[in-house]
Amino acid sequence: MLQARNSVDVAISESFKELALTCSIEKITIKEITDKAGLIRPTFYNHFQDKYELLEWIIQSDIFDPALVLAQQGYLDEALLIIYTNLFKEKNFYRRASHLEGQNSFAGMIRADLKSIILDALENKDLKLPNGWVTKDRLADYHAGYIADVSIAWIKDNMPISPKEMSDVMNFMLKNSLLDVLKVEGK
């Protein structure tokens, strides 16, 4: 999943991020992105199909790639902290992006990336699943969905708690099922 970052990709992404702070992402044109980056339109298309593929690349390279190696080595706490810290660094951009809905929704992009990371982590694990209906794919989809939903709620709420606190919240939620939380002491 680690993707190469080159100077043109970075220039295009920085231009896009700046434009997104003052204009709805849906209304940003490729010409505006390339003009701001000092490039010509064909250069954009040599790197990305459209602005939504660019957004996916930004999410992957800025948010998930820096945490991937830690997650793969089992350092989930540290990986989550990096993810939330990187989101927080550009909170205004991600808050605006979080409102994208439909076919190219921000939530869909986040969920797909998380599912891929979780599936990768589960790939070589010999899990004791309750039956044939519960698969690694369904397990990954479930967890990706709730991690994405909680993370997007934090973003849309203007990140009212620190990345460390959010990482702690997510760790609590990942380590405690609803049944664990509802369990009454002594029973």
User: Domains of the chain, with CATH numbers?
Assistant: 52-182 (1.10.357.10)
Question: pLDDT digit string (tens) for 3-37?
Answer: 556 899 999 999 999 999 999 999 999 999 999 99
- DSSP secondary structure code for residue 184 in this structure: P
* Half-sphere exposure of residue 27: CA atoms within 13 angstroms, side-chain side: 7
Please check the confidence at residue 186 and state whether its pLDDT lies above 60.
Answer: no
Please tell me the predicted confidence (pLDDT) of residue 23: 93
- At what angle are helices 106-122 and 136-156 packed, to 10 degrees? 140
Question: pLDDT digit string (tens) for 67-98?
Answer: 988 888 888 889 999 999 999 999 999 999 99
CA distance from start to end of the chain: 45
Question: pLDDT digit string (tens) for 95-143?
Answer: 999 999 999 999 999 999 999 988 888 887 888 888 889 999 999 999 9
Nearest in space to 59 (alpha carbons), one of 127, 139, 18, 113: 113
In terms of pLDDT, which residue wins out, 57 or 180? Answer: 57
Please check the confidence at residue 2 and state whether its pLDDT lies above 50.
Answer: no
